[in-house]
Chain A
Amino acid sequence: MTMLIFSLLHLLLIAVSSSFLPVLTRPDLFFAVTVPAGFRTGGVGRAMVRRYRLTGWVGTVLVAAGVVGLGDRGAAFLAAIGGGLAVWMGAFLAGRRAAMPFAVAPDPVRTATLSVRREGVPGGVIGLGAPFVILAARGLECALRWDEIPVRFPVHWGLSGPDRWAERTPLAVYGFFAAIGLLCAVVLFQAWAMVHLSRQIASPGEPSFSERRFRRIGVAGLMALAWIFSSTLPPIENMTLVVPYGPALILLAAGGLTVALVLSGQGGTRFPEYQPLASTAAPSGDRTPDRNWKLGVFYVNREDPALIVEKRFGIGWTLNFGNPLSWLVVTAVGSVPLLLQLVR
């Protein structure tokens, strides 16, 4: 596959997934704005989605023309990704501006159950600690069988297999393990925070079941990713503790998680047990104020103790950037590629 086709395929993926984003959110959230129940499926709401899609697809065609003009080289890929994201972000912001006049105040009443929540991460401490035990065991195996490690081993995979290699030095081998360990720590911390530092949005009782199921899928998916990271990367030849096909497994897990979340609907709103609000009821949204969503994408609220909140545009969760802990997570995520750069 050439770089040009690869770039165009990525552009197409961005366009197709972005087309559906406005209808994946909770029913009373529309372009990251709290709206009355049923607004999204009404005439005005549907017209806004059509306009958003038209803007996005016209922009995508223009970006595709530019990418073809760049030809079969690396810049085409960057143009496809950057251009595609910019076009759809622009369409989203235009949609958000159009939706704002229809915004309504969310229900100010908050309800909580007066009992200790029994939810936890799957496997508890073992589930959280296992990836680090696996990494430590693999590190020990590398130390014991140092001479069997290839002089050069892959640390990055591209279109046609490994495209970056590291020399067999203690810094390269254990630096890579440290980077993967940090990545696992970030992913597992987010899984833990989704259970303990994210809000139960639906009122307690029946409506909250679908939300809990949705969260369990997200948490289990993140934990599966951490387990795969720790047991597959880097695939150093001859090491018995390595599970083969690491990159393929990671793509499969990440793709599977995304599909599962999309099918569930944001907050589990596509599950059969989900109970939509009556059209006369005040919308509850996601129990976050509209004004704290910067550009409709970044949630910044210092007064909200939740670290993880549901995304308002897209599927899944995002950080509350008003919480200092979120910057620790961002720094840790940013440190992973930096650490990998050291591994050469």
Chain B
Amino acid sequence: MTTQPPLLRIDLSSGVPAYRQIVDALRVHLVNEGLRPGDLLPPVRQLAVDLGVHFNTVADAYRVLAEEGWLDLRRRRGAMVLERGMPRLADPARGELFSRRLRELVAEVQSAGVAVPQIIRELRLLAAGLEK
């Protein structure tokens, strides 16, 4: 059985810039190992055409992830996923930022009408995934 490559979804009607959505979605795959070290990402041209966004949007997203140490951007080979260890949390402010963003996100989806039990269920699923 062949494993299907991961998918990337973006919502063009969302207020979040497309490049941000691409970075966030790719990072989820990288952290969850949907994309593994050595995997090749589609070339900028292919991904931009498929998503219907400008080449620079995809190039910027790849660059952000390269700066975070996730990708190696080679001139001819495209973007390759790198082996990257999780850094130790050096800055306590990062932890506070995470708490604030999580609370803001929960408030945002709650105000958009997502039911509280569903939010709790998703957070539990996420926590269970992290504990594995």
Is A bound to B? yes
List residues of A whose CB falls within 8 A of some B CB.
108-117, 196-200, 203-205, 287-288, 303-306
Q: For A109, list chain B residues within 8 Å (CB).
A: 9-12
CB of B65 within 8 A of chain A? no
Q: For B118, list chain A residues within 8 Å (CB).
A: none
Which one of B5, B13, B54 lies within 8 Å of A114 (CB-CB)? B5
CA distance A193 to B71 in the complex (A): 28
Cβ distance A267 to chain B, nearest Cβ, rounded Å: 15
Interface size on B, residues (CB 8 A): 32
Which one of A108, A115, A199, A203 lies within 8 Å of B42 (CB-CB)? A115
Q: Is the CB of A114 within 8 A of B6?
A: yes
Binary interface encoding of chain B residues 10-34 relative to chain A, with 1 for a CB under 8 A from any of its CBs, else 0: 1111100000000000100100001
Q: Is the CB of B46 within 8 A of A116?
A: yes
Which one of A108, A197, A203, A204 lies within 8 Å of B12 (CB-CB)? A108
Q: List 13 A-B contacts (CB under 8 A).
A: A108-B14, A109-B11, A110-B11, A113-B50, A114-B6, A114-B8, A114-B41, A115-B5, A116-B42, A196-B46, A197-B49, A304-B52, A305-B53
What total of A-B pairs shows CB separation below 8 Å? 81
Q: Is the CB of B51 within 8 A of A110?
A: yes
Of chain B, the residue at the smallest CB distance from A112 is: B50
Binary interface encoding of chain B residues 33-64 relative to chain A, with 1 for a CB under 8 A from any of its CBs, else 0: 01100011111011111111111000000000
Cβ distance B91 to chain A, nearest Cβ, rounded Å: 30
CA distance A108 to B47 in the complex (A): 16
Of chain A, the residue at the smallest CB distance from B4 is: A205
Q: A109-B11, A287-B52, A305-B55 are contacts. A117–B6 as well, Cβ < 8 Å?
A: no
Given contacts A110-B9, A113-B6, 7 further A-B contacts (CB under 8 A): A110-B53, A111-B8, A112-B8, A113-B7, A113-B42, A115-B39, A117-B42
CB of B69 within 8 A of chain A? no
CB of B78 within 8 A of chain A? yes
Which of A112, A116, A203, A205 has most B Cβ within 10 Å?
A112
Cβ distance B22 to chain A, nearest Cβ, rounded Å: 9
Q: For A112, list chain B residues within 8 Å (CB).
A: 7-8, 42, 47, 50-51
